[in-house]
Structure 1
Amino acid sequence: MLPSTSATTPTTTQTTAADEWLADPTFLVTADPERVIALLDVASSPAARVGAAVYRVSAELHRRAGAGVRRQLLALDAARYGERELSARIAATAVEGEPAGQWGVEWSSGSELDPRYRRTRDDYPDRTTAMATLVVDGRTLAVTGHSSGKVTVRDPVTGQKVGRQPMTGHTHKVSAMATTLLDGRPVAVTGGDDGAVRAWDLATGEQIGAPLTGYPRTASAVATAMLGDRSVVVAGNDDRTVRVWDLATGRQVGRPLADPTSEAWSLATAVVDGRPVAVTGGDDGAVRVWDLATGEQIGAPLTGHTRAIWVMVTTVLDGRPVAVTAGTDRTVRVWDLTDGRQLAQWPVGNDGPVTSLATSVLDGRPMVMACSLGLVQVWDLATGEHVDRHRTGPVSVVAAAVLDGCPVALIDDGDWAVQAWDLATGQQIGEPPAAPVAAVSTAVLDGHPVAVTGSSDGTVQVWGLATGQHLGRFPVGCMGATAVIGGRPVALTSSDETVRVCDLATGEQVGEPLTGHTGEVCAVATAVVDGRPMAFTGGDDATVRVWDLTTGHQVGEPLVGHEEPVSAVATVEIDGRWHVVTASYDRTMRVWDLAAGKQVGEFLPSFDFPVPAVATMTVHGRAHAITSSWDAVRLWDLTTGQEADEPLIERIPEPVVATAVVDGCPMAFLGHGDRTVCVWDLAGGRQIGPPLVFPLSVRALAVTPSGQLVVGFGHEVATLARREDPAPFRPQARGEAAAPVRA
């Protein structure tokens, strides 16, 4: 019988009972989460301490989810702790009203597990969604907002929390953040998806006054300014208004700044001709300047961006106020706020939209840092010189700070780890954390199946699929795919415009590098064609090249036709002939006849976003391609060039895709930035079971010949296997968005 669900913390005399409950998988899965959390700190027996540690790891996710999701996450986290027997017992727990799990966890790495989880429940893994910096008593601190609504303060070098942690109040994701001083006190101002703007005293960890309300939905951008002798907060919202509050009193100042034609997605404040102003960037790509005292728009909108402006900062250049803006058109633009002139425009490349901007000063020169997916770039604001280009992995937030007199960039990869980089040297300050998994493949090494993972720091790791044993780690470059050459398994890794072939057993390079691309290699695929191992590479130079891996030579001329970098490559047989399927940042997919070395027909579907992932599969005897983009996952019949049906799923963040035949059924595995993997029966056109939920973003997928699913999530990897007799589940309709898991 399960214990009562009252929230009373057990006394010392109740410790024995608590130990029994925390060692019971049924209690962990089905009991009220608040009841379980109240017991975690009194766990004393070894089994109870393990149960408590497992429960804490992803508690901020599963405490708000149903018991079915909790069962799956607890089974995964038990495997991350190496408790495979406990993982199996948790997975076998019956949940009323829920079918049995479709997939079971076989093993998982645990590189991100923190031993503090055994002692505290305040440090849940939680995606960073906003960041700002400030100096308190001479010490630079990073203030971060998270997907759970929490706000934390950390030392950017040591990663240690500072002061009372965490600060809670937002009921949904923190969308925006700014820092300021109020009566000499350090203050953070946050805007949330709950529509509230909140101010926090960073010295005490207490919220200052009541939330600043007035928005029905997301407070998507915040900034601070001085209006006369008052500190004010300026916040934008998706109701097309910008509001101003007195930070000390919490009262709204004046009427909202409103433009019915544009939604303000970004904003900053500045002083122009002695007047405090708000500068807003809209979904129409226009920049607007507003007088904070009168609420009136100053001059005409500043135009140039072709799409929505996501991020903005203001600074001073040669004594004149300027705004730096960026967004989905993948350009950074600089505007003179005094006369409205555009001063500069810089392309950021093809790593996706700019998600964060910051400014700094290096050797007396003003600098701009732009962060896109996996890349932080630095420009000299005065000269326009491209100073640095630093690939870090899938980062989303960047801020500027000064540490020990040195200007630094603070970068957060979205999974709780703030990194500090010296802008002068380009080197990371302090000990670098483990890098996120960016690619997964499978192979057979010494007769045993292995998983091969590539990380954003250029290392390749090998794991035993049966045992989860870590078999090796090689700093050989960014892993793209695996192959077999002369009976020995190899990994293909890229470094700038070259591809290297590395022995999986030793990490040593095999033969000469594959050279020919004139730009960075973005995509690698392998296949055995007519008995010979081949590689297919796509690059920043917009070409696709074919390589014979036995000889190390390029086969034929490059496949030319894409107008922008090639983002994904796959192969498939159509009517007995091998074809290459490619996708590009030019938002098209193309099909190439490998023997003829030319494009097939005019099969050029146009997408709304770049297509970062493509996979192929034969369904009902016909070759198909699955394209995964930010707007949707789509299935294409490669014989007709037509979309097979409605999108499989719409609105997909950070998509990855893999295909395989499992138990005779052609399947697609769709990984999302929202920490889920959906499994689709392509022959039946239906989703199989509910989404698989992971505690961190899913960034890589692979399927073994035996049907095991290998998932790279955050910095970790796990292997799952399909259960033999899962209970039936109502298939999800094609085109229906996967249900989110609220953190």
Structure 2
Amino acid sequence: MVDDRDTASTWWTNLDTLVNGDPKRVQGLLDEGAEPQARLAAAVYRASAHLHQDASPQQRRHLLALDAARYGDRELAGRIGDVAVAGAPAPWRVEWAVGASLDARLRHPMEGDRRSMWSAATTVVDGRPVAVTGSHFGVLVWDLSTGRQIGEELEGHEERVFAVGTAVLDGRPVAVTGGEDDTIRVWDLLTLEQLGEAIALDDSGDEVMSLATTVLDGQPVIVSGGAGTLRLWDLATHAPMGDPLTGHAGGVSAMTATTLDGRPVVVSAGADGTVRLWDLTAREQIGPAWEGHDGLISGIATAVVDGRAIVVTGAEDATLRRWDLATGDPVGAPMIGHAEAIREVDTAVVDGRIIAVSGSIDHTVRFWDLATGEQAGVPITAHDAPVWAVATAEVDGRPVLVTGDANEDLVRVWDLGMAVVAESAALGEAPAGHTDDVWTLATSEVAGRQVAVSGSSDRTVQVWDLDAGAPVGDPLTGHTWAVTSLVTTTLDDRPVAISGGGRIIRTWDLATRTPVGDPQPAEDGHTILGTAIVNGRRIVLAAGDKLSRPGSSVAFYRIRMWDLATGEPVGRQLAGHPQRPMGGATVDVDGRPIAITICDDRSAKLWDLEAGEPYGPRRLHIEESARFGHIAAATLNDRPVVATTDHGTLRTWDVTTGKQLGPNMTGHDWHIETVALGTLAGRPVAVTGGGLGEAAVCVWDLDAGEQLGPALLFPTHIRAVAVTSDARVVVGYGTEIAVLRWTGTWAA
């Protein structure tokens, strides 16, 4: 039981508090305690804090055990799994997990609207530090102290919101947003309502690429940047103020407002690679353009360093530059460290140092000491997509950073004080893993040890020792694109993996981790549909090219088959899908190898691989409105079974009859992205994983036709699951994998 007498000096010693306590109350305790144990417990809780509030204590127990394992503390993961939750046993234990995307500097992962984040700004509302973020069509407001969204999404924009700023109007905090729909909107941050009509730029043909707010002659104004022009608007009345300011040869992609000698100025940057300084009172450019970048400049900020006002810019050339605000002269050398274009820049004061923060297309956030021009601290590498937005703020006297990227629905808040220290912020030693999303998983046995094999968008295949909880050697390289399909089998009694990606299919000896034979070209698709023994030979099936019949306008896609040992084509050409098969599986029926292939045209066909023709019922009989998404097959209780998914629904089928077994199984709130079949303590089960919008694993009792316990939540999208022969489930989520073991019992 949670004891309300828990104090700030002891909270991390009571794991019951973390599992069963009110998440809002626990969040308030996380900054207390400097001991390593307290710091680790706080980092574990924050890793998936965006999920704790809406999770049940049973689900929270699983999440916390998972995140402890991700930080490399399997003993802590086990103790969390032992915490009692009323009426909720713990049939699943987290054995180990990869923590590649973890970072102890994270304060809040804030779950958003499942859309890319394009822009951000920070301000204070009623004494609370808040962030305002722009995404596709909408604007969200966040409490930076609690990590919670404030109110509902602010609706009005019809396309991407590229620019966000904040200001004060008549003593009230407001946000100003602009974007691709050629409008600027003003929002009251106290009521979360739009103020007045949108400012429409339709007649000018300008989209709003950037904006800033300032005060001119005592009047709050908006400055917007579009196709080569800057425009001024009265913040209160929304009326235009004078003619546009011209000078940039391309779009005005970034701007910031400040003062120079007491006069309001705007510094703008554009697609023409120049920086320009504007006197807003005189409505004219000050001096010549500042040149130095090669390509579009999309990030800009100001700071005062050693008493001198400077401008910091980040550009498509992957460099940051410093400029003297008064003279326009470069300050020091370019700051180099990013591998790709920089998208956003902001500045902050951290422990007396003036720091710049940059977000990049290379998925990283980097920190720079503006006095020396050197990188500060360790880059943030937790994002798995281009970082489009960065903004700094202060929470409870501590500098923080807000970041968002082009993929995830998470807005992240980071401790800037920890970010710029020289050493890494890591607290544990979880094994390293893939550097991009895991798309596919399979299991095998090598020298008597259970292994998993994973394929990733980082173009590699990795072998994992499931008992040791560690990768086996270096990743296997050779694919030129994401590895999105993978199967394991044996060849001459040797365990092998077959991987598809980058228009080639490769075979790997899992014992030696070396290639077997030459790659199979796969110009027409590298989706592996399965393997089987056909007439004594191990064959591989994959999606093939289109086959047109002479004299007919009808065309079908072929299923390629080749001998795994020789690489030579085998068997008759199987063709029947009007679109390229997107998935498949194989299973033996009465000793005959049968393939099941699915297609986006709502067809699932069965093939007798020895006869080279359709098998028995020829297809799976499905209701007219249903579709096939993902597929798995296995022999369960001596019956050949195939499982298919349809959005959030799971179905199983008897391969011999083509008819559905039992009811539709529903439990996912979003699309199922992966399915696997296996047995747990002799009972047949299916395991499914949800993708973007619902990162959860569901386990299904196929005898009962129902979900086995609540969904197991994960920090991010799940694209791969596998079931081992010894009651373990391997889950691929984001760039990481985790291994869960079933320790429950079946009801009599």
TM-score when normalising by structure 2: 0.60
Give 1:575 shift: 3.5
Q: C-alpha deviations, 1:38-74, integer Å up to 9, x for none?
A: 2211222232222222111111111332211111111
Whether contact under 8 Å (1:440, 1:712) holds in the other structure is yes
SS of the equivalent of 2:514 reads coil
2:504 aligned with 1:498:
yes
Whether contact under 8 Å (1:56, 1:124) holds in the other structure is no
**What code does the residue aligned with 1:603 have?**
R
Please give the residue correspondences for 1:565-576 in structure 2 after superposition, counting only pairs within 5 Å.
Answer: 565-576=580-591
- The separation in 2 between residues aligned to 1:166 and 1:34, in whole angstroms, is 8
Q: Paired residue for 1:669?
A: 687
Please give the residue correspondences for 1:94-173 in structure 2 after superposition, counting only pairs within 5 Å.
Answer: 94-96=84-86, 98-117=87-106, 121-123=107-109, 129-132=115-118, 169-171=149-151
Identify if the C-alpha distance between structure 1 residues 145 and 463 changes in structure 2 by more than 3 Å, giving closer, same or farther. Answer: farther
Q: Paired residue for 1:476?
A: 478
Q: C-alpha deviations, 1:614-646, integer Å up to 9, x for none?
A: 112445654332111325322223333233343
Give 1:87 shift: 1.0
Q: C-alpha deviations, 1:254-300, integer Å up to 9, x for none?
A: 9xxxxxxxxxxxxx98837x8999xxxxxxxxxxxxxxxxxxxxxxx
Q: Paired residue for 1:683?
A: 703
Identify if the C-alpha distance between structure 1 residues 275 and 694 changes in structure 2 by more than 3 Å, giving closer, same or farther. Answer: closer
Whether contact under 8 Å (1:126, 1:147) holds in the other structure is no
SS of the equivalent of 1:646 reads strand
Identify if the C-alpha distance between structure 1 residues 180 and 660 changes in structure 2 by more than 3 Å, giving closer, same or farther. Answer: closer
- The separation in 2 between residues aligned to 1:68 and 1:207, in whole angstroms, is 43
Q: Paired residue for 2:671?
A: 653
**What code does the residue aligned with 1:492 have?**
I
**What code does the residue aligned with 1:538 have?**
A
Gaps of 5+ in 1: 7-16, 153-162, 189-199, 213-220, 235-246, 255-267, 278-314, 317-360, 365-400, 422-431, 729-743
Give 1:417 shift: 3.5
**What code does the residue aligned with 2:520 have?**
L
Give 1:690 shift: 1.2
Q: Paired residue for 1:45?
A: 35
Identify if the C-alpha distance between structure 1 residues 539 and 22 changes in structure 2 by more than 3 Å, giving closer, same or farther. Answer: farther
**What code does the residue aligned with 1:672 have?**
G
Q: Paired residue for 2:619?
A: 603
Q: Paired residue for 2:652?
A: 635
Q: C-alpha deviations, 1:386-439, integer Å up to 9, x for none?
A: xxxxxxxxxxxxxxx972498999698998433279xxxxxxxxxx99201111
Q: Paired residue for 2:194?
A: 250
Please give the residue correspondences for 1:522-541 in structure 2 after superposition, counting only pairs within 5 Å.
Answer: 522-528=527-533, 532-539=537-544, 541=546
Q: Paired residue for 1:511?
A: 517
**What code does the residue aligned with 1:75 have?**
A
Whether contact under 8 Å (2:441, 2:720) holds in the other structure is yes
Q: C-alpha deviations, 1:177-230, integer Å up to 9, x for none?
A: 78999xxxx953xxxxxxxxxxx62999x9954999xxxxxxxx996545xxxx
Give 1:689 shift: 1.1
Identify if the C-alpha distance between structure 1 residues 519 and 83 changes in structure 2 by more than 3 Å, giving closer, same or farther. Answer: same
- The separation in 2 between residues aligned to 1:28 and 1:718, in whole angstroms, is 21
Give 1:446 shift: 3.2
Give 1:548 shift: 2.4
Whether contact under 8 Å (1:437, 1:454) holds in the other structure is yes
Whether contact under 8 Å (1:698, 1:714) holds in the other structure is yes
Please give the residue correspondences for 1:442-457 in structure 2 after superposition, counting only pairs within 5 Å.
Answer: 442-457=443-458
Q: Paired residue for 1:320?
A: none
- The separation in 2 between residues aligned to 1:688 and 1:249, in whole angstroms, is 44
Q: Paired residue for 2:550?
A: none
Q: C-alpha deviations, 1:560-607, integer Å up to 9, x for none?
A: 111112111101222332210001122211111111111234526566
Please give the residue correspondences for 1:192-211 in structure 2 after superposition, counting only pairs within 5 Å.
Answer: 201=166, 208-209=173-174
Q: Paired residue for 1:426?
A: none
Identify if the C-alpha distance between structure 1 residues 617 and 106 changes in structure 2 by more than 3 Å, giving closer, same or farther. Answer: same
- The separation in 2 between residues aligned to 1:434 and 1:135, in whole angstroms, is 29
**What code does the residue aligned with 1:533 have?**
R
Identify if the C-alpha distance between structure 1 residues 68 and 644 changes in structure 2 by more than 3 Å, giving closer, same or farther. Answer: same
Give 1:463 shift: 1.5
Q: Paired residue for 1:429?
A: none
Please give the residue correspondences for 1:317-716 in structure 2 after superposition, counting only pairs within 5 Å.
Answer: 403-404=316-317, 416-419=383-386, 434-472=435-473, 473-477=475-479, 478=483, 480-515=486-521, 517-528=522-533, 532-539=537-544, 541=546, 542-600=557-615, 601-603=617-619, 605=621, 611-618=628-635, 621-630=638-647, 632-649=649-666, 652-673=670-691, 674-716=694-736
Fraction of identical pairs, as percent: 33
Gaps of 5+ in 2: 123-130, 208-225, 228-269, 274-313, 319-340, 344-359, 365-380, 389-432, 547-556
Give 1:458 shift: 1.0
SS of the equivalent of 1:705 reads coil
SS of the equivalent of 1:626 reads strand
Identify if the C-alpha distance between structure 1 residues 407 and 664 changes in structure 2 by more than 3 Å, giving closer, same or farther. Answer: closer
Give 1:130 shift: 2.8
SS of the equivalent of 2:33 reads coil
**What code does the residue aligned with 1:716 have?**
E
- The separation in 2 between residues aligned to 1:417 and 1:60, in whole angstroms, is 18
Give 1:514 shift: 2.6
TM-score when normalising by structure 1: 0.60
- The separation in 2 between residues aligned to 1:148 and 1:113, in whole angstroms, is 28
Identify if the C-alpha distance between structure 1 residues 82 and 249 changes in structure 2 by more than 3 Å, giving closer, same or farther. Answer: closer
- The separation in 1 between residues aligned to 2:160 and 2:710, in whole angstroms, is 44
SS of the equivalent of 1:648 reads strand
- The separation in 2 between residues aligned to 1:556 and 1:31, in whole angstroms, is 62
SS of the equivalent of 1:107 reads strand
Give 1:29 shift: 0.8
SS of the equivalent of 1:666 reads strand
**What code does the residue aligned with 1:567 have?**
M
Q: Paired residue for 1:271?
A: 202
Identify if the C-alpha distance between structure 1 residues 704 and 167 changes in structure 2 by more than 3 Å, giving closer, same or farther. Answer: closer
Q: Paired residue for 2:299?
A: none
SS of the equivalent of 1:644 reads strand
2:68 aligned with 1:78:
yes
Q: Paired residue for 2:430?
A: none
Whether contact under 8 Å (1:498, 1:514) holds in the other structure is yes
Taking CA–CA contacts closer than 8 Å with sequence separation of 6 or more, which of the two structures ends up with the larger relative contact order?
A: 2
- The separation in 2 between residues aligned to 1:22 and 1:457, in whole angstroms, is 37
Whether contact under 8 Å (1:670, 1:679) holds in the other structure is yes
SS of the equivalent of 1:474 reads coil
2:740 aligned with 1:720:
yes
Give 1:151 shift: 6.1
Aligned residues: CA RMSD: 4.7
Whether contact under 8 Å (2:545, 2:580) holds in the other structure is yes
Whether contact under 8 Å (2:138, 2:156) holds in the other structure is no
SS of the equivalent of 1:678 reads strand
**Paired residues, what number?**
520
